Structure 1
């Protein structure tokens, strides 16, 4: 349906543009398509950098992401449009908050780097082929859909905003599905190796994922981001409420309880059991979370920075793409700069997350395999020492 919508919008949009000239495809498409191509290069570079030097990649993401977000925010402000000012202020404030957050979690960096290094030390063979193929598919799909967005802008219709929203929703969800296909495939191989010492061919794992698990992955790709947002907002509400205002504290406590319940029914670690045991996403998430509780891993998972690392890689990629597309548009047609930069940011973020799916899969598989059998000789003292350290900090 989305493909049909994109084709219809593209044809009608180009016809309308040739008659009215209020939309200039030769100035709208090149900056955005160039930024999509750039996002593929950035995505591949991030994951290759992570595989080559996890420690340097982690530090680079943490310290350069706020700078890139700030630069992107300043660009939006310079453009001067109403939407640009709003986006710019949000990015500038977020980059400043992120800088403060990074200073606050500085004591947790060594563990996160150590875990990233241990879990990604021996990636499955042919991982790069799977990642490159996924990134290329993401680039092609994103390029196809943005052509439809241009067509929607070109036609004079009261449903233009609805068409664009539908295309963007389909784009983000599909790229999320591609990311999770990579994550399920890689996490299955890593889990089997860590838990049972078995080697599994990546082609066999990918075929199994595509044949049996697409429906589960599609559902998980829809609900997990929503649950993650609820969980993040619950943490923010809890910090903002404090313990001074009894009413706010009570509301924050109730909201946090709901968020915790939802997280146990839908979380990113559940994708490991989806790949290994062919479970549904709700059952897999619940079983995984119960295993975390039995292994006393909740305290570690709640303070884990490796997911934040992948998130920051995505943000930095999105910021670079927004600057590339925005500056190009600013030079050739200023009125297009804001919208093209926003689209480029979203696509750059999603494609970089596809590139970082295999490190995230390795980390998830490590945690879940440890939770299922903490005494396995394959695991060193990395996680137990972190549990003891976090307990000491809570007691002090």
Structure 2
């Protein structure tokens, strides 16, 4: 009887232990499956606390030690971010109204404004500004050469922008973009105010804080941009593919459910895009020349061809619609492009370059305004204010133009999945024929 009494509770204990083990495994599984999402939220909380502390430190330094002129700093950075928000909204809205003019303006104004911005940085004369000016001037030259090279493709780029902007929910678009840009302006202003507080410290720790804030800013703005791409491409894809009208709420819920993939893509895609761009640049420069300095051409070609299978901007359509991971969505979409035979059209698309040029144009304009103002009132702030204003302007415009990029992305993916659909005209086939004729 004693033995039976001792053994009686064991099944219940084993069940409870098994349940606890399942709960632990479930928690660990949740953490692993949402690691980057949780990391983003945690980093956002810590950065918010850091920004509060640094902003308070800047205000205290301004009132007591007079080493930090808070009034000038805040006025300049707030004005530049406000200008970026306004210009970003204009770029996005005007693209849907007159794509031809805004595209040409972006490709020709960007090199001009960038070189003016570079000259301003040279005139400031600090080591940081001179280094940044070298990058800006080199970038302006490359932009000008690229603009000349792709001029024959402007006509097709305009057609793609027009057809992908069809079924455009104007009121929803205007309200959504305005709200997002307003939030972006507030976030950027708060971050730049915190950078001012870190600059007031004038120590090594201040430099570390600034670096952390900038990394956080880039990741956050990339994530916001990609959230818009997932949401909008979901809506536009269903319209192009099936003629369905997906609500903004449904698409937004889908984007929230894909937050882990978006967090990963916001880190991996920019890195792999840069690697692929470098690989294509080396391959283009080397050509068929067999020299030692170009011995890595074949290696770069392999890197470029493989990188696009693991992460590309086209994947966000399948991320939102089918809730796929970044790698699977990237490989699936690119395989569809290859199967249909339009990968050459995809490679020659100018939408991403157009959005980039819009960003550099507005970023340079903001940097010129803020840098000139700072140089006239507080020359010590001229270099950092102009650089931070450029970054804020660039990323705010990229967020604004994410709607346009998502529309084009959805159009290409929907076409590749069903090229014979009555939803599409001859824009893509005609461009493919033009590319084949120009290559022959």
Q: In structure 2, what is the equivalent of residue 32 of structure 1? A: 77
| One of 343, 348, 353 as aligned partner of 1:303 | 348
Q: In structure 2, what is the equivalent of residue 142 of structure 1? A: 188
Q: After the TM superposition, list the runs of 4 or more consecutive aligned residues in structure 1 that deviate by more than 6 angstroms.
A: none
C-alpha offsets along residues 307-344 of structure 1, whole Å, 9 cap, x if unaligned? Answer: 11111111111011101111110111011111100000
CA contact (8 A) 2:280 2:304 kept: no
Number of aligned residues: 394
TM-score (norm 2): 0.87
Q: Which deviates more from structure 2 when the two are superposed, residues 297-306 or residues 268-277?
A: 297-306
Q: Which deviates more from structure 2 when the two are superposed, residues 51-60 or residues 235-244?
A: 235-244
Note the aligned Cα RMSD (angstroms). 1.4
User: Rg larger in 1 or in 2?
Assistant: 2
| One of 399, 406, 410 as aligned partner of 1:361 | 406
C-alpha offsets along residues 32-58 of structure 1, whole Å, 9 cap, x if unaligned? Answer: 111011110011010111011111111
CA contact (8 A) 1:243 1:249 kept: no
CA contact (8 A) 1:130 1:182 kept: no
| One of 159, 175, 188 as aligned partner of 2:205 | 159
TM-score (norm 1): 0.96
Cα distance in 2 for partners of 1:344, 1:256 equals 36
After TM superposition, list the pairs within 5 Å mapping 1:73-92 onto structure 2: 73-92=118-137
| One of 313, 326, 330 as aligned partner of 1:281 | 326
Q: In structure 2, what is the equivalent of residue 389 of structure 1? A: 434
Q: In structure 2, what is the equivalent of residue 53 of structure 1? A: 98
Q: CA deviation at 1:208?
A: 3.0
CA contact (8 A) 2:58 2:70 kept: no
Cα distance in 2 for partners of 1:111, 1:55 equals 10
Q: In structure 2, what is the equivalent of residue 98 of structure 1? A: 143
Cα distance in 2 for partners of 1:256, 1:138 equals 37
Q: CA deviation at 1:156?
A: 4.1
| One of 205, 208, 211 as aligned partner of 2:251 | 205
Alpha-carbon distance change, 208 to 166 in structure 1, aligned in 2, over 3 angstroms:
same
Cα distance in 1 for partners of 2:436, 2:338 equals 15
Q: CA deviation at 1:86?
A: 2.0
Q: Which deviates more from structure 2 when the two are superposed, residues 107-116 or residues 73-82?
A: 73-82
After TM superposition, list the pairs within 5 Å mapping 1:308-347 onto structure 2: 308-347=353-392
Q: In structure 2, what is the equivalent of residue 185 of structure 1? A: 231
Cα distance in 2 for partners of 1:208, 1:385 equals 34
Which stretches in structure 2 are left out of the alignment for 5+ residues? Answer: 1-45
Q: Which deviates more from structure 2 when the two are superposed, residues 28-37 or residues 96-105?
A: 96-105
Q: In structure 2, what is the equivalent of residue 378 of structure 1? A: 423
**Larger RCO (CA within 8 A; separation ≥ 6):** 1
Cα distance in 2 for partners of 1:175, 1:194 equals 28
Cα distance in 2 for partners of 1:209, 1:97 equals 36
SS in 2 for 1:235: helix
Q: CA deviation at 1:383?
A: 0.5
Cα distance in 1 for partners of 2:190, 2:131 equals 28
C-alpha offsets along residues 106-143 of structure 1, whole Å, 9 cap, x if unaligned? Answer: 21111111111111132235112111111111111111
Alpha-carbon distance change, 157 to 249 in structure 1, aligned in 2, over 3 angstroms:
closer
Q: CA deviation at 1:190?
A: 0.6
| One of 96, 110, 113 as aligned partner of 2:158 | 113
Q: CA deviation at 1:104?
A: 1.5
Cα distance in 2 for partners of 1:262, 1:208 equals 26
Cα distance in 2 for partners of 1:296, 1:364 equals 16
Q: In structure 2, what is the equivalent of residue 224 of structure 1? A: 269
Cα distance in 1 for partners of 2:232, 2:268 equals 21
Cα distance in 1 for partners of 2:236, 2:247 equals 11
CA contact (8 A) 2:254 2:323 kept: no
SS in 1 for 2:295: helix
